[in-house]
Amino acid sequence: MKEKNAKNVADLVGGHVVGDPQASITGINTLRGAGGSDIAVLKEDKYSEEAAQSNAAVLIAQKEVEGFKGTYIIVEDAEAALAELLRLFYEETHQKPEGISEKAEISHDAVVGRNTAIGSGSIICQGATIGEGCVIYPMVYIGKNVRLGDNTSVYPHVTIMEGVEIGHDCSIKSNTVIGDQGFGFIQREGARLHRRLHHIGGVKVGNDVEIGSQCAIDRGMLDDTVIGDGCKIDKHCMIAHNCKIGKDCIFAGYARMAGSVEIGERVTLAADVRIRDHKKIGDNAVVAAGTGVTRDIEPGEQVWGLPPRSISAQTRIYACEGRLPELFKRVRKMEKKLESG
């Protein structure tokens, strides 16, 4: 969008203008920080006072705010409008590289689709297939027989090992490794106590998946590790060999799981969740931050703690912990009284 004004931004976000439809927009900012020709967004009524005092030229809101002097774009869902607006500004300020660098190393039998960009120092190995409109940033390694779907972006220093399949419209952020050997060993007496179990399965990642920086996703031993369509995985997550993850799950940073975990659809793992091997988590479950999953979690269950309990039960336990010193003193006092009595 070369020229942004209230009217064409309203068309983008599905809203209508109250005020000057030609009000110019050159930037996006917070309610407090906006000024000049900035646009700001009021997501919640509790910030209405800030919105009223904002110097933004244009305000996206779900209703008018008493005291605001600029132009409104009224929408049904302000947060969804913000997402569209951020996408617009992001795409304008983060231009994708174009063309194939002369310093990229591409195997003679690799297939690279139309309008795909490949950066300097990237290596595309034998038999790899890269779809149309992909962006391979500099210093990426794509192994033998890897398949990337259309419009997928792979950021610097990502390693995708042999045989991995990744769908279309995916985003793999820097320093992530997909398809490395799983952590599998057997123990036998002798000179070599720990003997490696080589993993010859693969990794299959669905469509519209985002995988953050510094993640590790291991290949399966015999069959594949699977990540379903629409999953969003934050930084520093670990998905071990043979895990199966359903569609539209969301994992916050440092969520990690041992081998052969099965996770249903639309599951939320908050930060620093740990899951024991072979455990199952049902559809729509929510696992709160810091939980250690040592049992199967039922569909729709919301759990917290170690061992995992319902969030309400764990909240009561944590509330009681603060009173333990006082309760201990009272118990000791009662014991002494009984002993002397």
Mind listing the pLDDT tens digit for each residue in 96-119? 788 999 999 999 999 999 999 999
Give the pLDDT score at 96.
Answer: 79
Q: Name the average pLDDT for the chain.
A: 94
Give the pLDDT score at 195.
Answer: 86
| Residue among 168, 199, 236, 241 flagged as catalytic | 241
Give the pLDDT score at 187.
Answer: 87
Quote helix, strand, coil % in the chain, to nearest 5.
20, 25, 55
Q: What percent of the chain has a predicted confidence (pLDDT) above 70?
A: 99
Q: Which residues 6+ apart lie within 8 Å of 227 measured at CB? A: 203, 204, 205, 206, 209, 211, 217, 233, 239, 245
DSSP state of 334: H
Give the pLDDT score at 32.
Answer: 94
For the domain made up of 6-93, give the CATH fold: 3.40.1390
For the domain made up of 105-314, give the CATH fold: UDP N-Acetylglucosamine Acyltransferase; domain 1 (2.160.10)
The angle formed by the CA atoms of residues 136, 137 and 143, to the nearest 5 degrees, is 50
Q: How far apart are CA 130 and CA 221, in angstroms?
A: 25
Q: Is the pTM of this model over 0.85?
A: yes
Highest mean pLDDT out of 290-299, 314-323, 331-340: 290-299
* 177-232 residue pLDDT tens: 999 999 999 888 776 788 888 999 999 999 999 999 999 999 999 999 999 999 99
* 147-187 residue pLDDT tens: 999 999 999 999 999 999 999 999 999 999 999 999 999 88
| Nearest by Cα to 64 from 31, 40, 42, 36 | 42
Instruction: Say if residues 268 and 250 touch (Cβ distance below 8 Å).
Output: yes
Q: Considering only 7-11, 91-95, 262-266, 267-271, which range has the smallest mean pLDDT? A: 91-95
Q: Where are the alpha helices (DSSP H) in the chain?
A: 6-13, 48-53, 78-93, 311-321, 324-340
Confidence of residue 305 (pLDDT cuts 50, 70, 90): very high
pLDDT(133) > 80: yes
Confidence of residue 341 (pLDDT cuts 50, 70, 90): low
pLDDT(1) > 60: no
Give the pLDDT score at 95.
Answer: 74
* 44-56 residue pLDDT tens: 999 999 999 999 9
Residue 246: exposure state from Cβ atoms within 10 A (0-12, 13-18, ≥19): buried
Residue extents of the structural domains in the chain: 6-93, 105-314
Please indicate whether residue 241 is annotated as part of the active site. Answer: yes
Q: What is the mean pLDDT of residues 264-273?
A: 98
